[in-house]
Structure 1
């Protein structure tokens, strides 16, 4: 039985998480007490966070997950999106389909709440791909020298920010999120980081308005002396290009104290804002490509209600057919079986609609898995490329046309961890 955790369940939950995620360092009694306090606060606050647990007949807790209720920019429009995190299974109950049951509950709860899109950070991407999650955007980790940034802005306008500037930072962040597909509005957890000064913030103020902000921490270089340090940039947002330039110039001026600036971004175009993008690996990729960043896959997306997703998104800001259009899509979703099958897509001159077809002898215009459909509709990969690798088959329709109708023009970016 899966249900919302109560206060009396948090001690069991802490024990499960401690063994499932030893890197969280909650092994001692004191650490477990702190973790129980954290769970209690997160569960009780009106913050979009809820913990669910899988119990057996005797009331023993077998596994848990954390549900995050977000507002996410999906191609220019904020929509309610769920994120699942902290999936943990009791060490004595592995291989008993506990995780399967937790994920099934999560998907059904999303459908019950009319949430058409969910997301997660995978411990193993292939595991969740089998559950219908598609790969999200790539993330690039740059390790650049400070003077690699173009320093043609006025760094004298950069000033330190404090927890008292929380609302200004949140306003700037949410405005930035509104302009960028994939961004999630500032969360309760992230607000707490600002209030607790978990990172250092600098910003640019123009006419009493915050137009740029950057969060960073300084870290000593491993196995080196105490004057040798890197700067990790955790967040960099701006509403005007001159704010970016001013913050870039300020970063560039740190070269006497900072060896490398470590910046992680979904934006592949950041390369073109650098005079020297090389990292510290000294690695050449044949024949002569210099390594500038390491890349990784992380955030994954899954559509949990195809018809609702089409209705809510309506593929706004994209190309439209010139006339009434009808398409048949065969969607393979073996994990969420009520979604598996044939769908009729109709454009009536104004709106798209998607309806499941119970019986048809017609040949589908496309056959696609829910994982690839989710990645495609979130702008992470084009249908043309999926067809190129044989992952999708199409019939009597041009993939370029479908990309223009259904694929966002930009790949998503996301700063939110959960």
Structure 2
């Protein structure tokens, strides 16, 4: 006979909370990749958890019968959604105590997190999944895929480069934040950087930040790190590039020129990006594996993964970020959401030059039926309605209205997220 298990109680913990060591233990057990294996390392990690429990980051403990059975970390973000800023709730470090798995703890924590940000007026939620199928079942939709390109340094194109490339340090914090914000305001999906996190990243010894200045203004930057080759070989090191940011082609060319110049030390440059056309940065984008994916001659140029996921927390509020249609029409939207009641939706929107707004009296010209994961991706712009409908994950009635409805969700660029949390 099944035994009923009480749902855990959730609460935000302060830096002086007595449960922080217990919460830290749960996180360490859940993420052995952190490598916290000694008493000294654990003590240092506890202090890291304490220092992170201040706005705009919150640690949440899930407790049952006085015991910490899970934890997570919440982030108050500002995200560019199709050119406008939107309050967005992020969640990370979701952890369940080893002795309490398969008892609904993770689902209870995620439900609490969604309600937390819904009550605070955030239309969107985002996360990086460790199990994408689990989070998709909770209503999160796929974001833009990430690609890892592996280039031979000498093949990188630096034509059109302008500016002076130099190493960045903690003293460049304000310049990095200013450059990042200029790029963010014109890039769909980018999240506003935390000052404290950026300051720590610039001071981190395991990575290097490189920037390009033009007329004394920082116009681009990137984070680099080293992966050593096997100890029995030489000249097999790899330079890994993340967070490649450039305000224009001249700045991008200068950063690529810096990477090109590293050919004497690195066998390859591995660049992680959500730009599927980044292979154009190289005169020979093949990844040196000589793998042919689809004979006779489809050469592998990248590895691809699905990462960041999006979720709507308020359907009408999220629809306000959609573009105005060329021709006015009324759209009924039926949203299937079995996990989070506030976004189980059936209503009609008036779509015209003044915006997208609910109108219960409007006679719909078309009806869109879709589940919340796919709708979340459509609003974010990471999926196209034509593709979602073609894969039988959405329907538009009448079918002749598909082009008009699809235009409502189209975006020039899919969302980009370089924030690691």
TM exceeds 0.5? yes
Distance between the aligned counterparts of 1:51 and 1:216, measured in 2? Answer: 29
Distance between the aligned counterparts of 2:85 and 2:340, measured in 1? Answer: 25
1:15 corresponds, among 5, 25, 35, to 25
Distance between the aligned counterparts of 2:146 and 2:88, measured in 1? Answer: 21
Distance between the aligned counterparts of 2:259 and 2:151, measured in 1? Answer: 11
Offset of 1:246 from its aligned partner?
A: 1.6
Offset of 1:105 from its aligned partner?
A: 0.2
Q: Helix, strand or coil for the counterpart of 2:53?
A: helix
Distance between the aligned counterparts of 1:363 and 1:402, measured in 2? Answer: 10
Q: Does 1:98 align with 2:94?
A: no
Deviates more, 1:128-137 or 1:268-277: 268-277
Contact 2:324 2:352 in 1 (8 A): no
Counterpart of 2:271?
263
Contact 2:155 2:283 in 1 (8 A): yes
Counterpart of 1:404?
407
Contact 1:163 1:197 in 2 (8 A): no
Distance 1:60 1:214, change over 3 A: same
Q: Helix, strand or coil for the counterpart of 1:290?
A: coil
Offset of 1:170 from its aligned partner?
A: 1.3
Deviates more, 1:199-208 or 1:256-265: 199-208
Deviates more, 1:23-32 or 1:58-67: 23-32
Q: Helix, strand or coil for the counterpart of 1:285?
A: coil
Distance 1:363 1:254, change over 3 A: closer
Q: Helix, strand or coil for the counterpart of 1:19?
A: helix
Unaligned runs of 5+ in 1: none
Contact 1:310 1:354 in 2 (8 A): no
Counterpart of 2:389?
387
Unaligned runs of 5+ in 2: 1-8
Alignment of 1:329-340 (within 5 A): 329-340=333-344
2:187 corresponds, among 180, 186, 196, to 180
TM-score normalised by L of structure 1: 0.92
Offset of 1:230 from its aligned partner?
A: 1.1
1:39 corresponds, among 21, 45, 49, to 49
Contact 2:315 2:345 in 1 (8 A): no
Contact 1:136 1:380 in 2 (8 A): yes
Offset of 1:295 from its aligned partner?
A: 0.2
1:204 corresponds, among 188, 194, 212, to 212
Offset of 1:223 from its aligned partner?
A: 4.0
Distance 1:225 1:109, change over 3 A: same
Distance between the aligned counterparts of 1:247 and 1:338, measured in 2? Answer: 45
Contact 1:221 1:229 in 2 (8 A): yes
Distance between the aligned counterparts of 1:189 and 1:354, measured in 2? Answer: 39
TM-score normalised by L of structure 2: 0.92
Q: Helix, strand or coil for the counterpart of 1:110?
A: helix
Counterpart of 1:289?
298
Provide, for residues 233-266 of structure 1, a one-character-per-residue CA deviation record: whole Å limited to 9, x for no partner.
1222122211111221221121111100010000
Distance 1:276 1:361, change over 3 A: closer
Counterpart of 1:27?
37
Offset of 1:273 from its aligned partner?
A: 2.2
Distance between the aligned counterparts of 2:102 and 2:391, measured in 1? Answer: 33
Q: Helix, strand or coil for the counterpart of 1:403?
A: helix
Offset of 1:155 from its aligned partner?
A: 7.8
Contact 1:133 1:302 in 2 (8 A): yes
Contact 2:148 2:273 in 1 (8 A): yes
Provide, for residues 302-333 of structure 1, a one-character-per-residue CA deviation record: whole Å limited to 9, x for no partner.
0011122223x2x2xx351423x221111001
Deviates more, 1:2-11 or 1:132-141: 2-11
Q: Does 1:322 align with 2:327?
A: yes
Q: Does 1:63 align with 2:70?
A: yes
Contact 2:319 2:379 in 1 (8 A): no
Q: Does 1:415 align with 2:418?
A: yes
Distance between the aligned counterparts of 1:322 and 1:51, measured in 2? Answer: 47
Q: Helix, strand or coil for the counterpart of 2:277?
A: helix
Counterpart of 1:303?
312
Distance between the aligned counterparts of 2:363 and 2:336, measured in 1? Answer: 17
Q: Helix, strand or coil for the counterpart of 1:365?
A: strand
